[in-house]
Amino acid sequence: MEQTRAWLKQARSVAVLTGAGISAESGVPTFRGKQGLWKQYRPEELANADAFHRDPRLVWEWYNWRRSLIAKAHPNPGHYALADLASRIPNFTLISQNVDDLHEQAGSRDVLKVHGDIWQLRCLNCGRQHIDPRPALPEIPPHCHCGGLLRPGVVWFGEELPRHIWCKALQAARTAELFLVIGTSAVVYPAASLVHIAKRAGAHIVELNITETVITNDIDDFLAGPCGEILPKLIA
Ligand code: BV8
Ligand code: ZN
C-alpha cells in the first residue's frame, strides 16, 4: 500500500482499468463470481449476437434484469475514490469494462467504456442509437420507430470494441507511468491486453482484487481486498 501511495504521489500519468469487481460492493453481480448468474446461463452464452438473433426475448430478459439491478445500485467508496483521484493527477484515464454507469454517477468524466453502455439501445435496421434510462423496458424485445429491432448498446463476444474508444485506451496504456488494474478477472480480450501493453511500455502495474488472478504473477504490486475499502485508504 505504501509503495503504491508513493507512486501515486509522484506519477504524472495514471491509467486505470476496472472490471465488475468495482461494482460488486454496489450490489451489481460480477460475471464469473460465485453468486449464481441469472438462471442457468453463462454470460458468454447470452452476451453474443447469435444468442440474440436466436432468442432476442431471452437476451433482453437478461439485460432488463441487469438494468433493474443497476438502476437500484449506487456508487460505492471505490467509485468515489477513483473520481477523486482523477482530480489530483495531471493525466488520468479511467478505462472500464463495465457497462453500468456507476463511475459516471460518482463523478468520473470521460470514462472509456470499452464494452459499451447498458443504457444505450441501437437499432439493427437504421442504426439509430439512444439512451433509454428506464430500469426495465416495458416491451421486449423493443423496436425502433422504423420498426427495426433494438439491441443493447454493449459489445458482445465476437464483436469489435468501439474503435475510437479502444484507440484512446491503448494510448493511455502506452503512456501511463502507473497502471492500476482493479476488480477484473483479466480473462476478456482485448481489454486485458492493456495490462501487458502498459507493462511493456514500462509502467508500474498495481492490481487490486479480492483474489489473485491470471495476471497477478506478471504485475508489480498486489493489493488484496475489496475496492470499496482499499481505494479510499490508498488515496487518503
Ligand atoms: C473480440 C459486455 C473479435 C456485454 C463483455 C480465446 C482466448 C482468448 C480470447 C478469446 C478466446 N475466444 C474468444 C476470445 C475473444 C473474447 C474473449 O476474450 N473471450 C474470453 C471469455 C476468453 N473477446 C471478445 O469476443 C471481444 N471481441 O475479440 O472480437 C473481433 C476483432 C476485430 C474485429 C471483429 C471481431 C469482446 C469482448 C467483450 C465481451 N463483452 N461485456 C455485457 O456486459 O453484457 S465481457 C464481460 O466480461 C464484461 O464486460 C466484463 O466486464 C468482462 C470482464 O469481466 P470482469 O469485469 O473481469 O468481471 P469478472 O466477473 O470476470 O471478474 C470480477 C473480478 O472482480 C474477479 O477477479 C473478482 O475476484 C473481483 N472482485 C469481486 N468483488 C470484488 C473484486 N475485486 C475487488 N473488490 C471487490 N469487492
Ligand atoms: Zn431504426
Mutate which of 44, 95, 188 for ligand 1 pocket (most atoms within 8 A of beta carbon)? 188
User: Do 223 and 208 touch, CB atoms closer than 8 A?
Assistant: yes
pLDDT at 176 (0 to 100): 98
pLDDT at 88 (0 to 100): 94
Residues 59 and 170 in one domain: no
The minimum-distance atom of ligand 1 relative to the CA of 157 is: 25
> How do residues 30-75 score in pLDDT, each as one tens digit?
887 665 555 567 888 899 999 999 999 999 999 999 999 999 999 9
Q: What is the dihedral of CA 93, 24, 218, 204, to 10 degrees?
A: 30
| Domain CATH for 101 | 3.40.50.1220
Query: Is-catalytic flag, 115?
Result: yes
- Ligand 1 midpoint to CA 82 (Å): 21
Enclosing domain of residue 44 = 29-72+118-154
Q: Would you state the cell numbers that stand for residue 8, as one nine-digit string?
A: 501515486
**Distance (Å) of CA 9 to CA 195, 209, 219, 231:** 21, 21, 20, 14
Whether the predicted pLDDT of 177 surpasses 90: yes
Residues 101 and 181 in one domain: yes
Residues 149 and 59 in one domain: yes
Residues 94 and 47 in one domain: no
pLDDT at 35 (0 to 100): 59
- Region 20-30 average pLDDT: 95
pTM of the model: 0.97
Across 22-36, 64-78, 158-172, 198-212, least confident range:
22-36
pLDDT at 39 (0 to 100): 54
Residues 100 and 169 in one domain: yes
* Domain termination residue (choose one: 98, 132, 154): 154
- Ligand 1 midpoint to CA 188 (Å): 3
pLDDT at 42 (0 to 100): 80
Q: Would you state the cell numbers that stand for residue 136, as one nine-digit string?
A: 426495465
Residues 131 and 224 in one domain: no
Q: Catalytic pick from 115, 130, 164, 204?
A: 115
Nearest CA to ligand 1 atom 14: 189
Give the total number of structural domains in the chain: 2
Residues 58 and 82 in one domain: no
Rounded Cα distance between 15 and 157, Å, is 24
Q: Would you state the cell numbers that stand for residue 47, as one nine-digit string?
A: 452476451
Handedness of CA 72, 100, 176, 224 (dihedral sign): positive
Residues 34 and 107 in one domain: no
Residues 62 and 45 in one domain: yes
Nearest CA to ligand 1 atom 57: 184
Q: What is the dihedral of CA 200, 205, 211, 214, to 10 degrees?
A: 0
Rounded Cα distance between 98 and 191, Å, is 11
The minimum-distance atom of ligand 1 relative to the CA of 227 is: 78
What integer best gives the mean pLDDT of the chain?
95
Residues 143 and 184 in one domain: no
The band of 132, judged by pLDDT with boundaries at 50, 70 and 90, is very high
Looking from the CA of 70 toward its CB, the CA atoms found within 13 Å total 25
SS3 content of the chain, % helix, strand, coil (to 5): 35, 20, 40
- Region 8-18 average pLDDT: 96
Rounded Cα distance between 89 and 61, Å, is 41
Residues 9 and 45 in one domain: no
Residues 200 and 122 in one domain: no
Q: What is the DSSP letter of 218?
A: G
> How do residues 136-165 score in pLDDT, each as one tens digit?
999 999 999 999 999 999 999 999 999 999
| Domain CATH for 39 | 3.30.1600.10
Whether the predicted pLDDT of 85 surpasses 80: yes
